[in-house]
Amino acid sequence: MGTGTADATLRILVVEDEALIALELECLLDDLGHVTVGIAGTSAEAIALGRATAPDVAFVDIHLVDGPTGIEVARALSEDRRITVVFMTANAKRIPPDFAGAIGVIAKPYSERVVASTLHYVADRRAGGGAAACPDGFLAAPG
């Protein structure tokens, strides 16, 4: 591990049914020094993988192979306080007012900079820092 919170290696679950997007994201996370613990394309797979691996962060798309089930995934995974859920979707209007337990959303198409700054923000929050400003391109959940 590095010295500050920004250098923390995060273990990340990718919940995305489009293989190319999932692979690109996995490569990006790897480039940023994080570890992808798994990739899931359905809600059942995502919830099972999340419970089995207890990742630090889950990037969850709302629309999966089995429909707009990413919201159920976010609710299930965010019950585990160790998991920080972040939506990654082009369908932000589908997110319920309580964000289903997610801390926020990154709109697709996303940039490497937005993913990097969001992970920095999440690492800071997980380390107990609450003062970090919300990064550009990341919409925090209300409250």
Could you name the CATH architecture of 8-140? Answer: 3-Layer(aba) Sandwich (3.40)
H or E segment and range at residue 36: strand 35-40
Kindly tell me the burial class for residue 131, based on how many C-beta atoms sit within 10 Å of its own C-beta (0-12, 13-18, 19 or more).
Answer: exposed
What is the average per-residue pLDDT within 37-48? Answer: 97
Share of the chain above pLDDT 70, in %: 94
Beta carbons of 84 and 74 less than 8 angstroms apart: no
pLDDT at 129: 80
Answer for the pair 6, 123: CB distance below 8 angstroms, yes or no: yes
pLDDT score for 40: 98
Residue 139 CA to its chain's centroid (Å): 12
How large is the average pLDDT for residues 66-74?
A: 96
Q: Going by C-beta distance under 8 Å and a sequence separation of 6 or more, which residues neighbour residue 17?
A: 41, 42, 61, 63, 64, 65
pLDDT at 5 over 80: no
- At residue 6, does pLDDT exceed 80? no
pTM to 2 decimals? 0.93
